A and B are shown apart, each in its own frame.
Chain A
Amino acid sequence: MTILIIYVVIFIAAFYIVKAVSSMSKSREDFTSLKTVTFGDESAVTPNRAASIISVFAIFAIWAAFTGSKLIPFHVPGPFIGELSFTYTAVNSLGEKDDADVRISVYDVQTGEIPEKIDIELGSGFALNDTAQIIAWRSALIKVKKNDVGGKDKKYKIITINGEPISPSSELFIDDARIYMTAKGTLSLTPYKGWQMQPIWLPSPEAVWSRLIKVSSEGYKNFSLFEHLGWSLLRVIVGFVAGALIGIPLGYAMGLSGWFRGWFDPIVEFMRPVPPLALIPLVIIWFGIGEQGKIILLFLASLWIMTISARAGVSGVNIAKIHAAYSLGASKWQIMRLVIVPNSLPEIFTGARVSMGVCWGTVVAAELVAAQKGAGMMIINASKFQMTDLVIMGIVLIGVIGYAIDILMRIAENYLVPWKGK
């Protein structure tokens, strides 16, 4: 919630700052800047590059600030680390009172250094001094009565902490910690947690980065990082190519022949709304968890998309083009090759882009369920061992690769079908 508010504040602040800065250095007078009607004019809305850059930085800054990253100088307050102490007063079964000191060291497990036990003297009287160690972000029961003389007695009670009275099922605050007395009279101490995330929830950017370095040099679970990602990518490509090889001719056939359209329409229309993820269980039952099942799943994921886009590409041909080609003496085969196929390419490319995206998502999901290698397997396995840094690294890589695939497809599209949308 706090994070959301901070994010919105950054969003608004950045908007006004960029606006102020750019109005100072206003020099470019292009056509759009002369338009008076821009609200609702889609062509007048171009993505503000400054906004994109700030947006990415804002996410990193918030991430770093809330994880205590060393990459940026400012952070939200972290958890308390160091030594705490308090004094309690107990009363024994005879009604006598005595004080004792408790010293607690709070340490961070991430650093790997476990502090030495604090040396204390037990002190005098029946209430004896105690010591304990607590890991930051956790709470712990402090059994102060345990070493006290007569501490096991039912009537032995702790009545104040640092002079403030406390009773069972209530809490009070000392410096940097909260103390809660359970119903049975045991103290539970929670050091101040701060606002930062625990690494197990969200590791800092540099932790993710160092995990990336480590995994890319050492690999993970018998396979190198390159192999994990490469296998996922290979499955996607094989599945997609297989889907396209069957789907495109099928789509053409459906666009050109009433029999094919009638025959396959119910199948395609039925299969299209079934998300490929829903097929995973069936594919596992039929083909097991090996490569075959995954590739068949991806094949099915891309097949319908490619079929439908090829069919749309054929139906979308302007009849004037077909007529013109016939009047120029083209045969059916020539019309197929020189008019229908090229005319359908833009649609097929759109389908291919969608299909690659769906396949990439599906492969990760399939690997989450069952796989020995692959990007999805890597993150699901890491999550079992609570290696959140590896999980985040995997998610980022999956996103980056998916984005890269789309960019490559778009470049190929611009190169191969330059007439698209003209």
Chain B
Amino acid sequence: MKGLSIENISMRFDLKNGSSVQALKDVSLDIEEGQIITVLGPSGCGKTTLLNIVAGFLAPTEGKVVLNDQIVLGPGAERGMVFQQGALFEWMNVQENVAFGPRMKGMPKAEQNKKVKHLLGVVGLADFEDKAVYELSGGMQQRVALARCLANDPDVILMDEPLGALDALTREKMQGLVLKLWKETGKTILLITHSVEEAILLGERLLVLAPRPGRIHKEYKLPFAEMGVNMDLRDVKKSDGYTETRDEILSIIWEMEEEIMGRTDDN
């Protein structure tokens, strides 16, 4: 079966002082090939942990992740990652960064160059090959990170707040780019965000996680990502149902945050 399935995952961190944190409890999720899913939830509810388990950086205490009928046991090239920031290699220029994955596979140089050129064009950074990454703006760096991930042609793209460090305008442009890439490449995308708007705009499916223990609280199926592919995102925000969905999710999150606050107050 093609696709990514997360089966009954629990994750418990045993702390040095003897106590333990239940970061995730019994999380299950089936993602079809080519879906884009956004994950939302209050801080500390286990979003990053979930992504790290799917990426193979962490082994869950219970459950398993299966990608295309293969159990995930560690990191692999078929699951690409885009991090919030700081994951580009400063000692390589833009071209070398993007070519990193193909190079690891032993792709011939000429082919690498062709691929890099194409991808940089796709993310709107044509002619930036020879630039050093520390000379680029934050938005440009994230474009390079996207291109680097795509160059490896992964089945699934995992993004942990990829646009979190960007300013509002750049962020909006990048959201458009993510949707465009999703549609053009047909990749499965799992994207974590703190922004409710971003989660609604980019998520075909939107998962709201609840904290302590981290679990799926609610799932939405939304039409906005599909709309956003051909439409200006500002217009998408004016379309039917957008405002209602946003307010509903906001109030859920608010409730959770308040509950967390209340609980810490009791302590």
Residue of B nearest to A327 (CB): B81
Bits for A299-338, please: 1 = Cβ < 8 Å to B, else 0: 0000000000000000000101101111111110010001
Known: A326-B75, A327-B76, A328-B104. A320 touches B86 (CB 8 A): yes
In contact, B132 and A418 (Cβ under 8 angstroms): yes
Any chain B CB within 8 A of the CB of A354? no
Any chain B CB within 8 A of the CB of A415? no
Residue of A nearest to B96 (CB): A338
Contacts of B55 in A (CB 8 A): 323, 327
- The stretch that binds B, out of A87-95, A285-293, A339-347, is A339-347
A338 to B92: give the CA distance in the assembly, Å: 9
Contacts of B252 in A (CB 8 A): none
Give residues of chain B (47-96) contacting chain A, Cβ–Cβ below 8 Å.
Answer: 55-57, 74-77, 79-81, 83-91
Any chain A CB within 8 A of the CB of B101? yes
A interface, size bucket: 20 to 34
Bits for B133-162, please: 1 = Cβ < 8 Å to A, else 0: 110000000000000110010100000000
In contact, A342 and B91 (Cβ under 8 angstroms): yes
Contacts of A419 in B (CB 8 A): 90-91, 132-134
A343 to B83: give the CA distance in the assembly, Å: 18
Residue of A nearest to B100 (CB): A328
Bits for B112-141, please: 1 = Cβ < 8 Å to A, else 0: 000000000000000000001110000000
A24 to B114: give the CA distance in the assembly, Å: 59
Residue of B nearest to A416 (CB): B91
Contacts of A343 in B (CB 8 A): 89, 91
Any chain A CB within 8 A of the CB of B263? no
A217 to B170: give the CA distance in the assembly, Å: 67
| Distance between B255 CB and nearest chain A CB, rounded to angstroms | 32
- Looking at B85, B89, B132, B134, the one whose CB has the most chain A CB atoms below 10 A away is B89
Bits for A164-193, please: 1 = Cβ < 8 Å to B, else 0: 000000000000000000000000000000
In contact, B86 and A328 (Cβ under 8 angstroms): no
Contacts of B154 in A (CB 8 A): 327
In contact, B100 and A323 (Cβ under 8 angstroms): no
Any chain A CB within 8 A of the CB of B105? yes
| Distance between A216 CB and nearest chain B CB, rounded to angstroms | 43
Known: A320-B83, A419-B132, A422-B134. A327 touches B77 (CB 8 A): yes
Contacts of A334 in B (CB 8 A): 104
Contacts of B100 in A (CB 8 A): 325, 328, 330, 338
Instruction: Out of A326, A338, A418, name the residue touching B89 (CB < 8 Å).
Output: A338
| Distance between A334 CB and nearest chain B CB, rounded to angstroms | 6
In contact, A327 and B80 (Cβ under 8 angstroms): yes
Residue of B nearest to A321 (CB): B87
Residue of B nearest to A341 (CB): B91
| Distance between A13 CB and nearest chain B CB, rounded to angstroms | 44
Contacts of B101 in A (CB 8 A): 328-329
In contact, A324 and B87 (Cβ under 8 angstroms): yes
In contact, B57 and A329 (Cβ under 8 angstroms): no
In contact, B152 and A329 (Cβ under 8 angstroms): yes
Instruction: Out of B75, B76, B91, B133, name the residue touching A345 (CB < 8 Å).
Output: B91
Contacts of A339 in B (CB 8 A): 89
In contact, B87 and A320 (Cβ under 8 angstroms): yes
| Distance between A11 CB and nearest chain B CB, rounded to angstroms | 40
| Distance between B249 CB and nearest chain A CB, rounded to angstroms | 28
| Distance between A317 CB and nearest chain B CB, rounded to angstroms | 10
Residue of B nearest to A325 (CB): B100
- Looking at B86, B87, B91, B104, the one whose CB has the most chain A CB atoms below 10 A away is B91
| Distance between A186 CB and nearest chain B CB, rounded to angstroms | 80
A417 to B89: give the CA distance in the assembly, Å: 12
Residue of A nearest to B152 (CB): A328
In contact, A323 and B80 (Cβ under 8 angstroms): no
| Distance between A325 CB and nearest chain B CB, rounded to angstroms | 7
Instruction: Out of A318, A325, A338, A342, name the residue touching B86 (CB < 8 Å).
Output: A318
A418 to B148: give the CA distance in the assembly, Å: 22
Instruction: Out of A320, A330, A418, A422, name the residue touching B104 (CB < 8 Å).
Output: A330
A320 to B89: give the CA distance in the assembly, Å: 10
Residue of A nearest to B158 (CB): A327
In contact, A324 and B83 (Cβ under 8 angstroms): yes
- Looking at B74, B88, B100, B134, the one whose CB has the most chain A CB atoms below 10 A away is B100
In contact, A327 and B75 (Cβ under 8 angstroms): yes
Given contacts A318-B86, A320-B86, A330-B104, 5 further A-B pairs with CB under 8 A are: A324-B148, A328-B80, A331-B104, A339-B89, A342-B91
20 contacts between A and B (CB under 8 A): A318-B87, A320-B83, A320-B87, A324-B81, A327-B75, A327-B79, A327-B149, A327-B152, A328-B80, A328-B104, A329-B76, A329-B101, A329-B105, A330-B100, A330-B104, A338-B89, A342-B89, A417-B91, A419-B90, A419-B132
Q: Which 9 A-B pairs have the closest CB atoms?
A: A329-B77, A419-B90, A422-B134, A326-B75, A342-B91, A320-B87, A328-B101, A324-B87, A327-B81
